[in-house]
Amino acid sequence: MLKRLFAATLLSCIVFIAQAEQKVDFGNYELHYIVFNSTMLQPDIAARHGISRSAQLAVVNLSVLEKQPDGVAMPIEARVQLQTRNLLGQTNPVELRIIREQPAIYHLGTLRFSHRDVLRFDVTVEIEGQRPFNTTFTQELWREDR
């Protein structure tokens, strides 16, 4: 029940975020990603999953899916690594935790940022038996005072 509540809360946060979830296709796989301010999470949900709520803390959610013959993409196990780069080229690794809510698999991480930071997110995905996949996306982050 709590896992469903977390998933529902996370989904409702996503609905209210101006920038919709994005994805990158690589072969027979998809990488879905979204970055949002941690204040978008309800306090009890954030606490339950060890996520601090702060105006200067963002949550990164990454999911890897495999395209199925019927057109439905299903979550799969993968090793995902993430680091950020600011406009000066300074890098910062982001520790990701895996949350499994069958059938979903989320790679969640948090990172501190300054108001209106423009960050590049460098992602590496490793799937057993496949070549590693690298991609980068850029996002500007805003401080959310609540």
pTM here?
Answer: 0.82
CATH code for the domain in which residue 27 is found: 2.60.40.3340
The per-residue pLDDT for 10 is 53
The DSSP letter of residue 20 is P
The per-residue pLDDT for 48 is 80
Per residue in 6-41, pLDDT (tens digit) is: 554 554 444 444 456 699 999 999 999 999 999 999
Residues of the domain holding 75: 2-141
Please report which helix (H) or strand (E) contains residue 26, including its range: strand 22-26
Contact 16, 40 (CB under 8 A): yes
CA separation, residue 71 to residues 12, 29, 67, 74, 102 (Å)? 25, 12, 6, 10, 19
Q: Does 129 map to a domain?
A: yes
Torsions phi, psi for 135 (to 5 deg): -150, 160
Per residue in 97-110, pLDDT (tens digit) is: 999 988 999 999 99
Q: Does 132 map to a domain?
A: yes
Contact 46, 57 (CB under 8 A): no
DSSP helix/strand/coil, 21: coil
Query: Would you say residue 96 has pLDDT above 80?
Result: yes
CA separation, residue 8 to residues 11, 48, 73 (Å)? 5, 14, 19
The per-residue pLDDT for 18 is 41
Q: Confidence band (pLDDT; 50, 70, 90) for 83?
A: very high
Per residue in 107-135, pLDDT (tens digit) is: 999 999 998 999 999 999 999 999 999 99
Q: Does 146 map to a domain?
A: no
Q: Does 19 map to a domain?
A: yes
Q: Please give the tally of structural domains in the chain.
A: 1
Per residue in 48-71, pLDDT (tens digit) is: 889 999 999 999 999 999 999 998
The DSSP letter of residue 9 is H
Q: Does 61 map to a domain?
A: yes
Q: Does 89 map to a domain?
A: yes
The per-residue pLDDT for 81 is 98
